[in-house]
Amino acid sequence: MRINVNEQFPHLPHAPIAEAVIEIRARAEVPWSEEAVSEWLKPKLPGYPQVASQNEFQQEVRFGLGHPPEAKQRDLGWKGLRFQSADGSHITQFNRDGFLFSRLPPYQNWQQLRDEGMRLWSIYAELARPTEAQRLGLRFINRFGLPVREMKFEDYLQPHPMPPRDLDLPFLGFFHHETLVVPASPYAINVARTIQVPQDPRSQGLAIILDIDVFTLQPFELRQDLFATRLAEMRWLKNKVFFGSVTPKALEGFR
């Protein structure tokens, strides 16, 4: 297939984006201590006043014949810092094994997400000096609510969940997951569809979650121009999945 980053998609003023994420897994090639990293980063991120330290943990479960499973948690030590903007809409993580930038509602536009993500990545790259990226991911989690007592998923999703043939029963829940490989490219796509059940079904309807994660399959050199090209191509793939997964009725609600 041919990736066409110049293709235009419908503008959705009320796009159902619950979270948009740019993630780069790239190992820091310099000493990584909390004091030094914090001292270096905080002056460069004045728009992110909320800071939290993050530790890494490893969960182990042991099974023995005739004995209940035994769970143990091992602290692997400090891994990085989490910063959040004053209005709570931006979150970024600078970790020993990678970088993450997340945009929460209200989502603005692709240019704002890309530009801020690349700006923060440049800060991480200057600090951590990684030599290559093991994974680049672009993830959009979409959430759109259904009217109360509305269960016609075929009005919103395509393909939509269906019960077994000759067994027309209502859904209590569903979870569909597919992984697609893009031929002759470095990309693959995880697509998950599920529903979110409200706490009070009498006043709130179900919500459909459409989770699209486009990611690279092999390591690549960390060049700014290559990074920008990959993000543009991954965004095109994300849009093709989104607009190929929702119905015209759903799109009308987002306009």
For range 218-226, the mean pLDDT: 88
Task: With cut-offs at 50, 70 and 90, classify the pLDDT of residue 197.
Answer: confident
Angle at the Cα of 189 (from 127 to 93), degrees rounded to 5? Answer: 25
Task: With cut-offs at 50, 70 and 90, classify the pLDDT of residue 60.
Answer: low
Report the range out of 74-78, 99-103, 168-172, 226-230 with the highest average pLDDT. 99-103
Three-state DSSP class for residue 253:
helix
Domain boundaries, the chain: 14-130, 141-255
Q: What's the pLDDT score for residue 120?
A: 97
Residue 67: pLDDT above 80? no
Q: What's the pLDDT score for residue 143?
A: 94
Q: What's the pLDDT score for residue 173?
A: 76
For residue 140, the number of C-alpha atoms closer than 13 Å in the C-beta half-sphere is 24
Task: With cut-offs at 50, 70 and 90, classify the pLDDT of residue 251.
Answer: very high
> How many C-beta atoms surround the C-beta of residue 23 within 10 A?
19
Q: Which of 63-67, 160-164, 217-221, 248-252 has the lowest mean pLDDT?
A: 63-67
> How many C-beta atoms surround the C-beta of residue 112 within 10 A?
13
Q: What's the pLDDT score for residue 165?
A: 83
For range 7-29, the mean pLDDT: 95
> How many C-beta atoms surround the C-beta of residue 91 within 10 A?
19
Residue 175: pLDDT above 70? yes
Q: What's the pLDDT score for residue 167?
A: 84
Measure the CA–CA gap between 207 and 145, rounded to whole angstroms.
4
Measure the CA–CA gap between 35 and 198, rounded to whole angstroms.
43
pLDDT digit string, tens, across residues 76-121: 678 999 999 999 999 999 999 999 999 999 999 999 999 999 999 9
Number of alpha helices (DSSP H) and beta strands (DSSP E) in the chain: 4, 11
Measure the CA–CA gap between 220 and 226, rounded to whole angstroms.
9
